[in-house]
Amino acid sequence: MKSDAIKTGPARAPARAMLRATGLDDAAIAKPLVAVVHTWTDVSPCNLTLRDLAQHVRTGVQAGGGTPIEFNTIAVTDGIAMGSDGMRASLASRETIADSIELVVSGHCLDAMVLLVGCDKTIPAAAMAAARLDIPTVILYGGTILPGHCKNKQKDKPLTVQDVFEAVGAHAAGSIDDAELHDIESHACPGAGACGGQFTANTMAMVLTFLGLSPLQLNDIPATHPDKAAAAKRCGELVMQRLHDDGPLPRSILSPASFRNAARAVSATAGSTNAALHLLAIAHEAGIEFGLEEFEAAAKTPVIADLKPGGRYTAAEMFDMGGAALVAHELRKAGLIDDIATVTGRSFFAELDALPAAAAQDVVRPIADPIKPRGGYSILYGDLAPEGCIVKLAGHGREHFEGPARVFDSEESAFAAVQARRIQAGDVVVIRFEGPAGGPGMREMLAVTAALVGQGLGNDVALITDGRFSGATHGFMVGHIAPEAAHGGPIAKLRDGDRVRIDVATRRLDVDANFDAREPVRIAPRVTTGVLAKYARSVGSASRGAVTAPGPLDAVPTRAIAATLLHEHPAADLDLDLVGAT
């Protein structure tokens, strides 16, 4: 056991003494030490149940012969931070969460881990940590929130936080009054759980299932559903099984095929474009070659799930009808996903075969009768995005947009213009200096996009940014433009009135302007001290996942050079493992 390094032999008596102080006896110390990690916080509904779920995981670990070691990490809630300076912390928190899991688990030589996650950045962070540590790991999503309902308005329409953001735009347009806005605000989020549509949290929870890191069906269970506790206990038991039977470990589960499966599932459900950013980051940590073009190939998968933000149903409603397995069955029948290893020890297809036949439902259609013939996003290049960008296609049928640029150097200035009704149909709103380094933190633009939708401009205005979008965004939106403005990307040369063309058919994002004759606009760094300044200095391009830590593939060239030097200079004091890691 890895934990023998801290608990076995006379020299480890001090460590054992400290473990005894926590309540462990000889028998507990002798067992495998299993991390039970959660992102609990009571600042938002997304992670609210995780501390309670951890107790059920502990029971499962103990039943399987292990000793649970519980700790929690941070979480930043996008729905609260959205539209404020606080949103800069969101993407950076993904790295901090992954780093903290790695440091605590490796620092205490723990043998295995169950990771309980609840919102947008905690989910990919858990997968990144699993890939780094490569010990027996099971990840469980805390679950979606249930849909809300207004008492007086929209009684038959399930509400999510998306409706609240859009109500802000409707309020600014005079379509609803203060009382109606308050009514929607008061009823959209009825309790614990992450945002209810196929937004980033539910998209990434599904991604974990299709990657094989979470057991099929368990992530689908809503946060407040009575079956969630049993799912948590099952994960505790499952991680002990993987520990006892020596596998499969995360890096043997993660493969090019599993990443393709996950990307196709995102396409089939018109899921969040943030999935591209996070899958690139997880692949980086796993040492898997998986580039931006993989998402264009995946986007040929038709949209078959009728989910918000572009569709009718919430994630909780899809769970009632059969959950992510409905999507998996249809993709499998069409030959669009491959069989892969999973954390259960059985293959993904074996897990599907073990499920009972689904009842009649209308949330997921057959591939032959899709909602849309292609996925909810496309990868574009061109004058404004030499390294690529991603266009979100959910909720509208357009594949071409052309109009004059309305350029803003921050989300706040763009939002102010929208609220002041200064944006007109046909405009291309440009929000720059909001990329990973320039933001810093690559804020989501939901406040702006939802306000445009609320004003009835969702299909009549395009928005392009080096920032990103919430999974709740719909409309003609282009994000993740790379290189970003802060790194001198072409978007920094745009001026008001430049004619911008977005063409999905040709996969181009171009502008009618002579950029050779222009210098890029530059702005002073927004943050010069603290964690965000450190993040801005180290974060990479969005086109490669906006990661900050080197991955296994990054070490190969350095290691090869070091090996050559050592061969040529045998007396050199070179530690290849250390060189490769750094």
Whose tokens are 């999974």? That residue is 471
Tell me if residue 252 is catalytic.
no
Question: 3-state class of 223 per DSSP?
Answer: coil
**Inter-residue contact 489 to 481 (CB < 8 Å):** yes
Residues 6+ apart with CB under 8 A from 457: 423, 425
DSSP, residue by residue, 278-296: HHHHHHHHHT----THHHH
Chain centroid to CA 284: 14
Q: Cα(first)–Cα(last) distance of the chain, in Å?
A: 26
**3-class secondary structure per residue, 10-53:** HHHHHHHHHHHHCCCCHHHHHCCEEEEEECCCCCCCCCCCHHHH
| Residue in 93, 214, 272, 470 annotated catalytic | 470
Whose tokens are 């594949």? That residue is 399
Tell me which residue of 118, 400, 365, 375 sits closest to 271, measured CA to CA. Answer: 375
Q: Residue 190: is the preceding peptide bond cis (ω within 30°)? A: no
**Inter-residue contact 193 to 223 (CB < 8 Å):** yes
- Residue 347: burial class (beta carbons within 10 Å; 0-12, 13-18, 19+): middle
Helix, strand, coil distribution of the chain in percent, nearest 5: 45, 15, 45
Tell me which residue of 471, 144, 123 sits closest to 318, measured CA to CA. Answer: 144
Catalytic residue IDs: 470
